[in-house]
Amino acid sequence: MNFAERLSDARKNAHLTQDQLAERLDVSRQTVSKWEAGQAQPEAGRIAALADALGVTCDALLRDETPQTVQVQMTGNNSFTIDWASLYPILTRYQSEMDCDRYAKVFRQMIQETADTYGYSLEDAMLALKDLFAQTYMDMIKK
């Protein structure tokens, strides 16, 4: 799906007409129409206002969801490994950019507290928190 299609879908999901969106952005309806038809692109500085008006993130409007290829290697016994870094380049950078020890300490405490409080194994506590973390992320990107 390209930008024009994502924009049109987001506007319709926000239950706005092109006129209503144009009014919120102080542009003409024809401008919105051209954006949705792929005949023009909004200025970079207008993307945040556009996302706010539609109740979505800038990422939701801009992200190219073109399928990417990924390396999969068979490791024996019908097992395989996936090169996640080829799909998500942040996985090769974050360890040199973030204070990983700080976050690991917080995560360790959360896992241990969850295991102790609910009688979970460490693995079950980690899986429950991982699921909750993913749910929280999904809630955040919906806004």
Put simply, whether the predicted model's pTM sits higher than 0.85 gets the answer no
Q: Give the separation between CA 35 and CA 61, rounded to whole angstroms.
A: 12
**Pairing outcome for strands 79-82 and 72-76:** antiparallel
Q: Give the separation between CA 3 and CA 63, rounded to whole angstroms.
A: 8
Give the model's confidence band at 18: pLDDT under 50 very low, under 70 low, under 90 confident, else very high. very high
pLDDT at 143 over 90: no
How many angstroms separate the Cα of 68 from the Cα of each of 63, 65, 81, 84, 102?
13, 8, 16, 11, 32
What is 3-62's CATH number? 1.10.260.40
- Domain spans in the chain, listed from the N-terminal domain onward: 3-62, 99-142
Contacts of 125 (CB under 8 A, 6+ apart): 111, 112, 114, 115, 118
Three-state DSSP class for residue 80: strand
pLDDT digits (tens, 9 = 90+) for 21-53: 999 999 999 999 999 999 998 988 889 999 999
